[in-house]
């Protein structure tokens, strides 16, 4: 027999459903709640803005508002340690599904499983090829390095503020792009029609959320600083610009639901200016 080890992170999760037409019986999974045995309690959306646009066209903005307000209400109650079974939802036609349990490497793996099992339109990295994950990591690292170099040209002593490992639970830690005093920021990019960028940015948001929760007295302001091509970028089509705009809006609302500011910049130099301003 070939020996193997099961993942050691366990959690329970609940789908949150929306019935778009009251009484129809049609159900759309809009979010998932996960409560880990280590105490982590999070809710995450399952639907990208592009999926809502495809389904509801000009009415997608209203549907996104329903999702965002649901996320905000649920996360507040989770932070107050409300039993998920007793959570109140903000709209009629939005209801909680039955709980399930899962094993994974971490809470991100649990969400990936839950989304894969409940939402055919959901964004998940479950089963994604390692080559794609590595490519996204490389692009994010290149952007982060350019921001770092831009800052260090004028502030050479700031190097220790970049790429900090911060403990979040047990033996696990999160790598934060930049930290100084009460401020923490993660860096990333959005490219046209690159769903893997969105998955990576969501993890950046969730890492910041965990860091702030574990360090409420020392980490008070958190942001995600995103590199986005401007409209004058050579070769950028109207379709590309629309894809970038929709994906940024999706990430913006993911951050807002967790009281995390998401900002966009068209160059590392502009990010560097923002960081210097924050430190002033």
Q: What are 132-154's pLDDT values in tens digits?
A: 567 888 899 999 999 999 999 99
Residue 153 buriedness (CB in 10 A; 0-12 / 13-18 / 19+): exposed
Tokens read off for 30: 């809009």
At 48, the pLDDT band (50, 70, 90 cuts) reads confident
- Domain stop point among 118, 140, 169: 118
- Domain stop point among 70, 95, 118: 118
Based on its alpha-carbon atoms, the radius of gyration of the chain, rounded to whole angstroms, reads: 19
Query: Is the pLDDT score of 271 beyond 90?
Result: yes
Query: Cβ(113)–Cβ(93) under 8 Å?
Result: no
Total tally of structural domains belonging to the chain: 2
- Domain stop point among 65, 97, 118: 118
| CATH number for the domain that contains residue 271 | 3.40.50
- Whole-angstrom CA distances from 245 to 33, 66, 229, 248 are 27, 20, 10, 5
Query: Is the pLDDT score of 157 beyond 90?
Result: yes
Asked whether residue 124 is domain-assigned, the answer is no
Query: Is the pLDDT score of 127 beyond 50?
Result: no
Higher pLDDT, 131 or 246: 246
Q: Are residues 139 and 233 in the same domain?
A: yes
pLDDT value of residue 228: 93
Asked whether residue 2 is domain-assigned, the answer is no
Asked whether residue 274 is domain-assigned, the answer is yes
Give percent helix, percent strand, percent coil of the chain, each to the nearest 5: 45, 25, 30
State which residues form the domain around 193. 130-279
| Residue position matching structure tokens 């929306």 | 18
pLDDT value of residue 124: 53
Query: Is the pLDDT score of 110 beyond 60?
Result: yes
Q: Are residues 106 and 140 in the same domain?
A: no
Q: Are residues 251 and 135 in the same domain?
A: yes
Beta bridge partners of 178: 162, 185
């Amino acid at each position: 027999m070939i020996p193997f080890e099961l993942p050691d992170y366990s959690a329970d999760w609940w789908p949150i459903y929306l019935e778009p037409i009251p009484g129809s019986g049609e159900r759309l999974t809009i979010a998932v709640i996960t409560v880990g045995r280590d105490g982590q309690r999070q809710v995450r959306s399952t639907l990208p803005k592009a999926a809502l646009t495809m389904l509801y066209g000009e009415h997608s903005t209203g549907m996104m508002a329903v999702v965002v307000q649901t996320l905000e209400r649920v996360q507040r109650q989770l932070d107050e340690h409300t039993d998920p079974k007793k959570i109140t939802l903000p709209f009629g036609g939005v209801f909680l599904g039955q709980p399930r349990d899962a094993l994974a490497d971490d809470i991100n793996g649990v969400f990936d499983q839950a989304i894969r099992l409940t939402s055919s339109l959901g964004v998940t990295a479950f089963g994604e090829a390692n080559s794609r994950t590595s490519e996204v990591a490389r692009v994010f690292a290149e952007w982060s390095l350019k921001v770092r170099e831009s800052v260090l040209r004028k502030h050479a002593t700031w190097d220790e503020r970049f790429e900090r490992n911060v403990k979040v639970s047990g033996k696990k830690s999160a790598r934060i792009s930049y930290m100084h005093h009460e401020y923490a920021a993660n860096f990333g990019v959005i490219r046209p029609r690159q769903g893997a960028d969105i998955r990576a940015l969501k993890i950046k948001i969730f890492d910041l959320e965990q860091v702030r929760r574990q360090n409420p007295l020392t980490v008070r302001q958190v942001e995600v600083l995103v590199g986005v091509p401007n409209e004058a970028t050579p070769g950028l089509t109207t379709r590309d610009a629309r894809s970038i705009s929709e994906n940024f809006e999706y990430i913006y609302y993911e951050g807002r639901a967790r009281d995390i500011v998401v900002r966009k910049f068209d160059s590392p130099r502009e990010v560097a200016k923002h960081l210097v301003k924050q430190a002033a």
